[in-house]
């Protein structure tokens, strides 16, 4: 009898843990843009695989169409076997069902091997934009360098995108509380005026191996998602910038854009929701509310 009770308790606990991991807080509306964000993932080590498993589990409840990668897509070697071990194998279940990955280049990435790698969908370019659906556009930059040619391209693309949701992503954060790197002020000087001028809504970056959501800066919402493989535990310093930080475990983000709302949820390697909320886009004033 005692043994039966113990088994029952274990079963209930297992079920609770499973449902905890599957607890998607996003609205999952029909016709919304559903995507995931990973960064600094390409280690080929166990945490990358564990996050990939959580991402795959999340997809069963929240069927995102694509994943944006914040760079440092492959650490160390970049031979075909490395693309296998550090990308194709961990995300196999998602790749097999047609989930698309759109990469940006980090400081560890070799452009000559990555920009034409079909599964990164970069179209042979260092920087590019794509429109997953009418009204929403993503811009992937190469923040390893920022020359006039790239800036002119960005300005033209932002101008042309008109009233679409504008989400810009690149590797090096221009706002960060990381003790290792911190804010990249040179890039901020170059990029922020364009973001403000053309009404960029959301900026996604990596490089710092933790998760941080920055308090809106000049009306723009900044996220760092750089712990989907790597982790720099306890590296978020005390600054005025942090709206929410998580540097205790690996994490990834899910997001959904519907009308003037972007909902987001950040999930740890253990399946715990470490941040969630809603960015409201209304009359060019972006407000953010969070549920925790």
| 34 is an interface residue for Fe ion by CB under 5 A | no
For the CB of residue 159, give the shortest distance to Fe ion in the complex, in Å.
30
In whole angstroms, what is the distance from residue 188 CA to residue 214 CA?
Answer: 14
CA 113 to chain centre: 22
Q: Which of 11, 19, 60, 107 binds Fe ion (CB under 5 A)?
A: 107
179-187, long-range: CB < 8 A, 24+ apart: 179/235, 179/236, 179/237, 180/208, 180/209, 180/232, 180/235, 181/207, 181/208, 182/237, 183/241, 184/143, 187/143, 187/146
Give one DSSP letter per residue of 212-228, joined into a string. Answer: EEEEEETTEEEEEE--S
| 180 is an interface residue for Fe ion by CB under 5 A | no
Q: Which of 39, 106, 173, 277 binds Fe ion (CB under 5 A)?
A: 106
Reported residue count of the chain is 292
Q: Which of 72, 201, 208, 247 binds Fe ion (CB under 5 A)?
A: 72
List binders of Fe ion among 209-248 (CB under 5 A): none
Residue nearest to Fe ion (CB): 207
For the CB of residue 37, give the shortest distance to Fe ion in the complex, in Å.
15
Interface region with Fe ion, contact rule CB under 5 A, candidates 109-117, 207-215, 228-236, 277-285: 207-215
| 207 is an interface residue for Fe ion by CB under 5 A | yes
Residues forming the site for Fe ion (CB under 5 A): 72, 106-107, 207
């Amino acid at each position: 009898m005692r043994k039966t009770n113990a088994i029952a308790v274990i079963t209930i606990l297992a079920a609770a843990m499973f449902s905890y991991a599957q607890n998607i807080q996003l609205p999952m509306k029909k016709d919304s843009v559903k995507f995931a964000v990973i960064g600094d993932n390409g280690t080929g080590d166990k945490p990358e695989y564990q996050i990939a498993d959580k991402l795959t589990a999340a997809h069963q409840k929240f069927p995102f169409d694509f994943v944006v990668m914040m760079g440092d897509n492959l650490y160390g070697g970049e031979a075909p076997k490395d693309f296998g071990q550090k990308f194709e194998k961990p995300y196999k279940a998602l790749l097999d069902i047609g989930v698309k990955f759109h990469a940006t280049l980090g400081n560890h990435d070799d452009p000559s091997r990555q920009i034409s790698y079909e599964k990164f969908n970069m179209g042979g370019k260092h920087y590019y934009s794509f429109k997953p659906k009418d009204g929403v556009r993503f811009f992937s930059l190469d923040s390893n360098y920022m020359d006039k040619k790239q800036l002119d391209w960005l300005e033209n693309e932002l101008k042309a995108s008109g009233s679409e949701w504008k989400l810009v992503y690149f590797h090096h954060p221009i706002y960060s509380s990381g003790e290792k790197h911190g804010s990249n002020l040179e890039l901020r000087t170059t990029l922020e005026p364009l973001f403000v001028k053309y009404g960029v809504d959301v900026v996604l970056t990596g490089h710092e191996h933790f998760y941080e959501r920055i308090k809106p800066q000049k009306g723009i919402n900044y996220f760092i998602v750089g712990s989907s493989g790597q982790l720099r535990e306890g590296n978020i310093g005390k600054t005025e910038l942090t709206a929410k930080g998580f540097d205790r475990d690996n994490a990834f983000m899910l997001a959904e854009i519907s009308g003037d709302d972007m909902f987001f949820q950040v999930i740890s390697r253990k399946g715990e929701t470490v941040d969630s909320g809603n960015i409201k886009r209304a009359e060019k004033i972006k407000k953010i509310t969070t549920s925790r």
